């Protein structure tokens, strides 16, 4: 009778949490798809509807602490700076690694993430930058998460007066400045 109760209990927990089959010692512990809900609203409001930017991310959880991450997106519209208007039409890609400093277990799905990224964008010209990122991801219900990422960005590609006209807005980076920031608010699904 006790064996049947234990079997029923373990079957119920597997049904309650279908994403639990990863053990604390497994190297691979899940993949997450993230859709950014903040950037499209922020860019549209900041540019009064002239500029649109969309992005998504995928991260993989490894050995409870490491999260290799790839982020990509697309921006289009018109950017205006100091009475100069330029057409924006280009994609971007960022890749990096996040680290979770919290004590981690498969049974504790939340994460505080600190990491580094390198990014690149291609529109009229190619631009590159680096980022320090910090954020979190919190499980709302089984398999669905929300979270944010704050980014401090440093531009690697600079264009002097003699170079071709550089875009004033870089997809995935923002306005062309040596140092800038970014914020993402993600809706995420683990599979």
pLDDT at 10 > cutoff 50: no
- Domain holding 152: CATH number? 2.40.160
> What is the C-alpha radius of gyration for the chain, rounded to an integer number of angstroms?
20
pLDDT for 36-84, tens place per residue?
A: 999 999 999 999 999 999 999 999 999 878 999 999 999 999 998 888 8
Q: What is the dihedral of CA 97, 98, 103, 106, to 10 degrees?
A: -70
Residue 160 lies in a domain: yes
pLDDT at 16 > cutoff 60: no
Distance from C-alpha of 129 to C-alpha of 178, rounded to nearest angstrom: 9
Residue 2 lies in a domain: no
Predicted pLDDT at 8: 45
Domain count of the chain? 1
pLDDT at 11 > cutoff 50: no
Residue 3 lies in a domain: no
> Which residue is associated with the tokens 């089984």?
142
Distance from C-alpha of 144 to C-alpha of 188, rounded to nearest angstrom: 6
Residue 17 lies in a domain: no
pLDDT for 116-175, tens place per residue?
A: 999 999 998 899 999 999 999 999 999 999 999 999 999 999 876 545 678 899 999 999
Domain region containing 158 = 30-190
Give the pLDDT band (50/70/90) at residue 17.
Answer: very low
Residue 145 lies in a domain: yes
Predicted pLDDT at 159: 72
Distance from C-alpha of 176 to C-alpha of 166, rounded to nearest angstrom: 9
Helix (H, G, I), strand (E, B) or coil at 40: helix
> Whole-prediction pTM value?
0.83
Q: How many CA atoms lie within 13 A of 151 on its CB side?
A: 27
Residue 89 lies in a domain: yes
103 or 131, which is more confident: 131
Residue 102 lies in a domain: yes
Give the pLDDT band (50/70/90) at residue 106.
Answer: low
């Amino acid at each position: 009778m006790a064996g049947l109760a234990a079997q029923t209990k373990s079957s119920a927990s597997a049904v309650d949490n279908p994403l639990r089959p990863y053990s604390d010692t497994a190297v691979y512990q899940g993949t997450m798809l993230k859709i950014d809900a903040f950037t499209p609203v922020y860019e549209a409001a900041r540019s009064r509807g002239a500029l649109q930017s969309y992005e998504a991310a995928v991260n993989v959880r490894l050995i409870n602490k490491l999260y290799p991450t790839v982020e990509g997106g697309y921006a289009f519209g018109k950017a205006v700076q100091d009475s100069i208007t330029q057409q924006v039409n280009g994609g971007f890609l960022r890749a990096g690694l996040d680290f979770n400093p919290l004590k981690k277990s498969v049974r504790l799905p939340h994460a505080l993430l600190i990491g580094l990224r390198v990014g690149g964008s291609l529109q009229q010209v190619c631009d590159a930058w680096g980022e320090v990122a910090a954020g979190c991801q919190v499980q709302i219900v089984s398999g669905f998460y929300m979270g944010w990422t704050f980014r401090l960005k440093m531009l690697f590609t600079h264009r002097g007066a003699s170079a071709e006209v550089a875009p004033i807005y870089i997809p995935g980076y923002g306005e062309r400045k040596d140092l800038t920031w970014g914020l993402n608010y993600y809706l995420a699904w683990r599979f």
